Amino acid sequence: MSRRNYPSAFMHPFSHIPTLEEEGPVIVDRGEGVYIYDDRGRKYLEGNSGLWNVVLGFDNKKLIETAQRAYAKLPAYHAFFGRVGQAALDLSERVVKLAPMEANRVFYANSGSEANDTVVKLLWFLAEQEGKPHRRLLLSRKNAYHGMTVITASLTGKDYVKSASGLPVKEVRHLTCPHHWREALPKESETDFSQRLALELEQTIRNTGPDYIAGFFAEPVMGAGGVIPPPEGYFQAIQPVLKKYGIPLIADEVICGFGRTGEFWGSQTYGMKPDIVVASKVITAGFFPMGAIILSPEMTERIDKASAKYEELPTGFTTGAHPVGCAIAMAALDEIEGGAFANVKARSPEFQKQLRAMADHPMVGEARGVGLMGALEMVADKKTKAPFAGNLDVSERVSRQALKNGLICRPLGASIVLAPPFIITDAQISELFGILRKTLDEVYRDIA
């Protein structure tokens, strides 16, 4: 029975149309801490922080007040032609100091996709200006998620996204997904698996020619691929290969940046030394659209040199470095550095303990994660790791049943993904896993 007379004029991104037609949308009305409420007053524990981003609570007063003050002072301005709000200058100074590598410049976009897209543009800009116009190939991994613009959807290594629009563009190559549990050979250790993937990388570079490759994109932990932490020794094996051939490493920290993995950056958790870091989502705790590209001094110098000919950097976005967004980001960093990050560190052991305890459920093949992020991968057979038949849509069913039980958790492939707000308490972690276990039991009873 249609609740909202669907379809409506609103085009829903990444939403299941038959479900919408049958049930209507969940109209989100308000939020409070780690909970949101729909327009019928139903309460949900937000196990995904919205889309990994609303980490400081859905009613964070400091951020709201900061936004109100910033709107009252300078509600809008751009950053072209040498004009800029003070907050953008302050934020940039702060971000380069916080960066996981030596860094000295930040460029602002409006989303993670735009930021990654701009990185590609800058890499191609350097290729052109440095006399290597053929240096255009971009390396990514299967199951990666880097965005939804044409180039970033091409970097995204999810099959349905690619095939849906005839992507990737010809400049992108996808390497093996570094998921040990699914992709390793029988009895292959994590470090051996990592070595094999480094060899694959080197072979790919040699086959195409190092001079043709513009950069290697990697999330420290693959997020939308289903929370896949890298196997032991992965970046330690990959990075020397990139260095050997002079290929920049771009750490897509859109999810991991600012604390999610239990270190301030995913790069620190996994020993990455990137040339460029891309941040978004958490930088404003979801309260304002923002993407940030953080550059090493070497990248900055090359971009400055290449730009000199044009007497300006030949790119920019109308609302990039928005004064209100930058003020909110400063307040979000105050909150993160002032206690929320410490809470991630303090709560992560309990979160991981309860996550891993779910592995005893008959439907769960792997429970994996790090910090305050995790996934449960559903299997029909724990021994063979055989997935459930596609038409059962098990992860989708779990997510829909969880919604009925008051928990928001996201189905990604065969996995259920969790990434609660940084401010979650131990009691709320227990509440989350209590609802999830009840939900898995209900779905299992249905399909067994």
Contact residues toward ligand PLP (CB under 6 A) are: 51, 111-113, 116, 145-147, 219, 223-224, 252, 254-255, 280
Q: What is the DSSP code (8-state) at residue 167? A: P
Cβ contacts of 103 within 8 Å, gap of 6 or more: 95, 96, 277, 294, 295, 296, 297
Give the whole-angstrom CA distance, residue 181 versus residue 159: 20
**279: β partners:** 292
Return the number of the residue (320 or 365) whose C-beta is nearest ligand PLP: 320
Return the number of the residue (141 or 146) whose C-beta is nearest ligand PLP: 146
Nearest distance in Å: CB 217, ligand PLP:
9
Give the whole-angstrom CA distance, residue 302 versus residue 305: 5
Return the number of the residue (31 or 223) whose C-beta is nearest ligand PLP: 223
End-to-end CA distance of the chain: 27
Return the number of the residue (136 or 158) whose C-beta is nearest ligand PLP: 158
The tokens for 241 are 């290969």
Nearest distance in Å: CB 22, ligand PLP:
27
Return the number of the residue (118 or 129) whose C-beta is nearest ligand PLP: 118
Nearest distance in Å: CB 117, ligand PLP:
9
The tokens for 288 are 């304002």
Nearest distance in Å: CB 255, ligand PLP:
5
**Could you please report the per-residue DSSP string of 254-265?**
TTTTTTTTSSSS
Return the number of the residue (272 or 364) whose C-beta is nearest ligand PLP: 272
Backbone angles phi, psi at 300, to 5 degrees: -60, -45
Q: What residue number has its CB nearest to ligand PLP?
A: 112
Q: How many CB atoms lie within 10 A of CB 142?
A: 18
Return the number of the residue (145 or 288) whose C-beta is nearest ligand PLP: 145
Q: How many CB atoms lie within 10 A of CB 195?
A: 17
Q: Which of 116, 13, 44, 91 is nearest to 288 (CA)?
A: 91
Backbone angles phi, psi at 123, to 5 degrees: -65, -40
Peptide bond into 168 cis (omega under 30): yes
Return the number of the residue (91 or 151) whose C-beta is nearest ligand PLP: 151
Nearest distance in Å: CB 113, ligand PLP:
3
Return the number of the residue (223 or 413) whose C-beta is nearest ligand PLP: 223
Return the number of the residue (143 or 352) whose C-beta is nearest ligand PLP: 143
Categorise residue 262: left if φ over 0, alpha if ψ from -120 to 50, beta otherwise: left
Nearest distance in Å: CB 141, ligand PLP:
12
Nearest distance in Å: CB 335, ligand PLP:
20
Give, in degrees to the nearest 5, the angle at Cα 389 between 388 and 392: 90
Q: What is the DSSP code (8-state) at residue 99? A: S
Nearest distance in Å: CB 157, ligand PLP:
11
Return the number of the residue (306 or 417) whose C-beta is nearest ligand PLP: 417
Q: Are the C-beta atoms of residues 152 and 146 closer than 8 Å to each other?
A: yes
Nearest distance in Å: CB 115, ligand PLP:
8
* Separation in Å, CA 312 to CA 20, 303, 304, 315: 47, 10, 9, 9
Backbone angles phi, psi at 210, to 5 degrees: -55, -30
Nearest distance in Å: CB 224, ligand PLP:
5
Nearest distance in Å: CB 197, ligand PLP:
19
- Reported in sequence order, the residue ranges of 142-270 that DSSP labels E, i.e. its strands, are 172-175, 213-218, 249-252
Q: Are the C-beta atoms of residues 49 and 421 closer than 8 Å to each other?
A: yes
